[in-house]
Structure 1
Amino acid sequence: LRKLHSYMFSIDRPSFDRDKIIFYEDRSFQGRHYECSTDCPEMQNHFSRCNSIRVDSGCWVAYEKPNYTGYQYMLHKGEYPDYQRWAGFNDCIRSCRMVPPYNGKYRMKIFERSDFTGQNLELNDDCPDLNERFHTRDISSANVMEGYWMLHEHPNYRGRQYFLRPGEYRRHSEWGSTTPTIGSLRRVKELN
């Protein structure tokens, strides 16, 4: 299944003229910059650090490391004059992925243990405090049936972020987490 997720992420989709993100080396949109309008698995050749971002259109996930790994940051249309504005832990962005436009329903089932076992809960809306609703913060597997979702390490959409596309995630490492701790989750919706 790990190969399936890698394959899903590498599918080339048509570029939407309206979707564009610009990465700047310095704060307040200064210094060298790189414009991107499609998924980019390796951006190190374009800039050495990233201290500000402008999202002209679309919804994007920026990643700390190449090939869509490391810390993940959800970016909607707007300006981010320094990395703290996108909840960044440092000035390192090495890959990015466009979130396709989506207007359908949202449905996801989360599980307390790996391989879709243990206590489970089906969701179709945002959840600011998972412990209050699910009575645990350990989410070890998930089945995203419809829509795009963002998991957050802490309640109220704070802490590390994990982007989930439709598909099965048999263990938390498949969405990039080193622990099963999740405090909140929400649907990814374009805010244009």
Structure 2
Amino acid sequence: MSVYYYPVYAVQQTSASENKIIIYSEAGFNGRITEFKKNVLNLEEKGITQISSFQIIGAPWVVYFEKNYTGNQMIFEEGDYPSYDKGRFLSMKIITEDLGVKPEIQIFEDTNYGGKSVTLQHETNLHNINFGDTASSHKVISGTWVLYEHVDRQGKQLLCLPGQEVPNYCEIGFNDVISHVRPLVSKS
């Protein structure tokens, strides 16, 4: 971890093969800079108290609003985020699982993989296939997926990893709310 305390006047270009997140304490890539290349269980222990902008280089990251990879989560892909105001995140992980494979997820209407189901291989607005706000469980066949509370990648997010099976969305506060799903794919 490298920490610098001077203002940033120009953002440096870095190779995309270096997966990392660069966090700035002020909007517009200004203020204190901290760079991470590994998962962080507790950002407060690393001295991070303010995140107002950041850059993702390489693989996507999932940020959690609680320590120890718990609480609500948001997924960010490679790019610049010059202004961040969606809530304080306290832990984060790099996502590298199965980004280059053909993605497939099976979503079920009822808990324990019961009722009507749909198998998806691409980004889908679930309302367009009469499956919005009804899902209660899933099985990830391959790839890494993001499930959204609302259409157009809006609302709460849930990261789903390869091989993951979630038999009951009630236990994670996501029952009957999923409206949109998409696979994370490699940008390279």
**TM-score, normalized by length of structure 1?**
0.80
| 1:171 to 2:172 alignment | no
Please tell me the residue identity of whatever aligns with 1:160. K
Structure 2: how far apart are the matches of 1:164 and 1:170?
A: 13
| 1:117 to 2:114 alignment | yes
Structure 2: how far apart are the matches of 1:80 and 1:55?
A: 8
Classify 1:130/1:80 alpha carbon distance in 2 versus 1 (closer, same or farther; 3 Å).
same
Q: CA RMSD, aligned part only?
A: 2.0
Contact 2:132 2:180 in 1 (8 A): no
Contact 2:168 2:175 in 1 (8 A): no
Contact 1:154 1:182 in 2 (8 A): yes
Structure 2: how far apart are the matches of 1:171 and 1:103?
A: 28
The secondary structure found in structure 2 opposite 1:45 is helix
Contact 2:57 2:79 in 1 (8 A): yes
Structure 2: how far apart are the matches of 1:77 and 1:132?
A: 28
Q: Deviations over 1:135-156 (max 9, x none)?
A: 3422111000100000111112
**Structure 2 unaligned regions, length at least 5:** 1-15
The structure that has the greater radius of gyration is: 2
Contact 1:111 1:141 in 2 (8 A): yes
**Which segment drifts farther, 113-122 or 176-185?**
176-185
Structure 1: how far apart are the matches of 2:117 and 2:130?
A: 8
Q: Deviations over 1:129-174 (max 9, x none)?
A: 2022143422111000100000111112111111100211111256
Structure 1 or 2: more helix by fraction: 1
Residue among 159, 180, 186 paired with 1:184? 180
Classify 1:68/1:103 alpha carbon distance in 2 versus 1 (closer, same or farther; 3 Å).
same
Structure 2: how far apart are the matches of 1:35 and 1:94?
A: 15
Structure 1: how far apart are the matches of 2:174 and 2:166?
A: 14
| 1:96 to 2:92 alignment | yes
**Structure 1 unaligned regions, length at least 5:** 1-15
Report the number of matched residues.
170
Structure 1: how far apart are the matches of 2:152 and 2:53?
A: 24
Please tell me the residue identity of whatever aligns with 1:71. N
Identity over the aligned pairs, expressed in percent?
Answer: 26
Structure 1: how far apart are the matches of 2:44 and 2:173?
A: 23
Classify 1:191/1:17 alpha carbon distance in 2 versus 1 (closer, same or farther; 3 Å).
closer
Structure 2: how far apart are the matches of 1:136 and 1:48?
A: 37
Classify 1:173/1:53 alpha carbon distance in 2 versus 1 (closer, same or farther; 3 Å).
farther
**TM-score, normalized by length of structure 2?**
0.82
Structure 2: how far apart are the matches of 1:151 and 1:107?
A: 13
